Structure 1
């Protein structure tokens, strides 16, 4: 029976589960958007929402409580100086879970966990600036070019009409959810 089970143990030991929560919450506040399985996203969301609620009031005790969950002090500062004040007018619901499909290897539900006020256009502009600065760098020598990785199939050889989506950033393939 599942009576009074308040959380999903995610088939992990307590120490492993705590480390997983800490890693994922730290990554969420660092990048403001992470891709993970739906079940992990639902569990991490609980911790993240509680920390954001505490970060709205910058007190010594709230910082100590948040420091238990975050690995990096820079991210702790970001939580209390940027994320908390941005969410000041909200009474909960600081994150959203977007389902993006199924992972190809094990057909696990994959979802994006992001902060509600995540600015996708701003992140695109920042990445374009980085790409422009990379183009200005000197070209590689011939020996370095030979050692670079080449994909086995170009994009044009991909199956037409397939139900899979390829995430270009991570080169992961997801099966499309029916009806979306």
Structure 2
């Protein structure tokens, strides 16, 4: 039984897995999108999201900590200079996994993992229709009931007033 075992070992030794996730994270940061299997993408998401959170605080210590994971100067520079500015207001959930089908050779489930703030197609469709950001809290029924009675009450006297004015004009 695998109770309490959160890490997917991906059929690799610890050093191989660490190197693979480091390379994939660096590629994701540089290219903003990566095509891989679903299992690797889920493991990569757990690996890279804490690094993205750490990049919001641009200090020497956080840069060194992130470099210890990525081992790539260019990706660290890109992360702290460009990516962290875009994700500054986002509270989490920096990556998105989009399933793309199955690989021909071994029928492995494939997907695209991408940084959420860099997909212009998704940003334009949700941003234009949504307008302002909505909260996830449900509004109370009292407020809805009060608004509907207030909206209907002033409408009737105005309608009566216009009828009287038209009669006077005739």
TM-score normalised per structure 2: 0.69
Corresponding residue number in structure 1 for 2:100:
100
State the Cα distance separating 1:119 from its structure 2 match: 3.6
Ranges of 4+ aligned residues in structure 1 off by more than 3 Å = none
Distance 1:75 1:20 in 2: 15
Q: Does the alignment pair 1:82 with 2:82? A: yes
Bigger fraction of residues in strand: 1
State the Cα distance separating 1:40 from its structure 2 match: 0.1
Distance 2:66 2:110 in 1: 27
Corresponding residue number in structure 1 for 2:53:
53
State the Cα distance separating 1:34 from its structure 2 match: 0.2
Corresponding residue number in structure 1 for 2:22:
22
* Higher alpha-carbon deviation: 65-74 or 45-54: 65-74
State the Cα distance separating 1:71 from its structure 2 match: 2.9
Q: Does the alignment pair 1:6 with 2:9? A: no
Distance 1:32 1:68 in 2: 20
Bigger fraction of residues in helix: 2
Distance 1:60 1:85 in 2: 17
Could you list the runs of 5+ residues in structure 1 that have no partner in the other structure?
A: 122-180
TM-score normalised per structure 1: 0.65
Could you list the runs of 5+ residues in structure 2 that have no partner in the other structure?
A: 122-170
State the Cα distance separating 1:120 from its structure 2 match: 5.1
